[in-house]
Structure 1
């Protein structure tokens, strides 16, 4: 199976859906809350179509990438908050040795979060046309049911997150992952944080690797460090520190 980087994926998705839907599509910021905006990957000029693009692979151990997939769930949340006739999540697919489709497994696990969002699989081809298939049609928006008071947890039983500050969502993922490495693009981190990384994160390795910075102390305090950094491709790999 051929794979492309997320920038190339976004360009291919733009080309495909621009022709299919007869729309001019471009990266556009849309309102998702009273005072909150999110920049979506592809939006039509009339804003009736909104598309987010994601790309994941099975882990080296052939496990479901639970930590990284949280950015797709965040995309679902933002799509649910925007007003549009069609909301589409496009995912570059990956097959494990058993032939399982990552996109199929994702839809099976998280269908209840998808509401009116369509999910499409994208498989780039070096020879011939790319394979593009709709995996999930827009379903019914979930309406919460009344919960039996006897089955609810008391406020004392509900634990709040131990993390705080801008990089709390990142630390939350690192602390809960069942793998010893987690890879992110800078774009995925921005979406996870709901804010942009500072310019120095794009320009200087020391921003990621320096141990004296407050943000690096956040992930260092929970036993994680940056093991690999590619500023040109805007990618970073976090690894769990080995305790000797």
Structure 2
């Protein structure tokens, strides 16, 4: 069965996400930052409900959302996927203050656009990114990360 919205060569999009989270956890561990899976904190505007972030540390007060999205095969903007990034910004905005908040995205460069998807997001959606949120890119090939905002 053809799955047009599934990444080629992957078992499922859920596997892609979990694998990416594991790479991010390993990367930050090497930087001296110990992160656990599924850190839950109360978020909300008028009331609070628990939300589980991809990675984080309650003791270290760190919350991390990981996104392994790429440009479309045709080199276009994956608009629907970026709405999920915007949703992550809202979760960060409504999370408790005092936490370090990181959105970590896959480094995916478009030669046609001469920018990465992360750079495009920061340039286009900067008005939705809370000031206390860091945006990082992780290069799977070089196994290194870089803060881009």
Same fold (TM over 0.5): yes
Check the 8 A contact 1:18/1:25 in 2, yes or no: no
Residue 140 of structure 2 is matched in structure 1 by 124
Q: Supply the distance in 2 between the matched residues of 1:96 and 1:22 (Cα, whole angstroms).
A: 30
Residue 43 of structure 1 is matched in structure 2 by 56
Instruction: Give runs of aligned pairs for residues 169-208 of structure 1, distance below 5 A.
Output: none
Residue 13 of structure 2 is matched in structure 1 by none
Is the partner of 2:115 in helix, strand or coil? coil
Structure in which a larger fraction of residues adopt strand: 2
- TM-score normalised by structure 1 residue count: 0.50
> Structure 2 stretches of 5 or more lacking a match?
1-8, 11-15
Q: Supply the distance in 2 between the matched residues of 1:16 and 1:58 (Cα, whole angstroms).
A: 23
Matched pairs, number: 131
Check the 8 A contact 2:107/2:137 in 1, yes or no: yes
How far off is 1:78 after superposition?
0.2
Residue 106 of structure 1 is matched in structure 2 by 121
- TM-score normalised by structure 2 residue count: 0.79
Aligned pair partner of 1:13 in 8, 13, 24? 24
Q: Supply the distance in 1 between the matched residues of 2:66 and 2:116 (Cα, whole angstroms).
A: 17
Is the partner of 1:68 in helix, strand or coil? helix
Which of the two has higher C-alpha Rg? 1
Is the partner of 2:79 in helix, strand or coil? coil
How far off is 1:69 after superposition?
0.7
> Structure 1 stretches of 5 or more lacking a match?
137-244
Higher RCO structure (Cα 8 Å, ≥6 apart): 2
Deviations 1:53-83 (A, max 9, x none): 0011112321111111100110011011112
Segments of 4+ in structure 1 off by > 6 A? Answer: none
Instruction: Give runs of aligned pairs for residues 13-92 of structure 1, distance below 5 A.
Output: 13-33=24-44, 34-46=47-59, 48-83=61-96, 84-92=98-106
Q: Supply the distance in 2 between the matched residues of 1:21 and 1:50 (Cα, whole angstroms).
A: 15
How far off is 1:21 after superposition?
4.1
**Which 10-residue stretch deviates more, 17-26 or 36-45?**
17-26
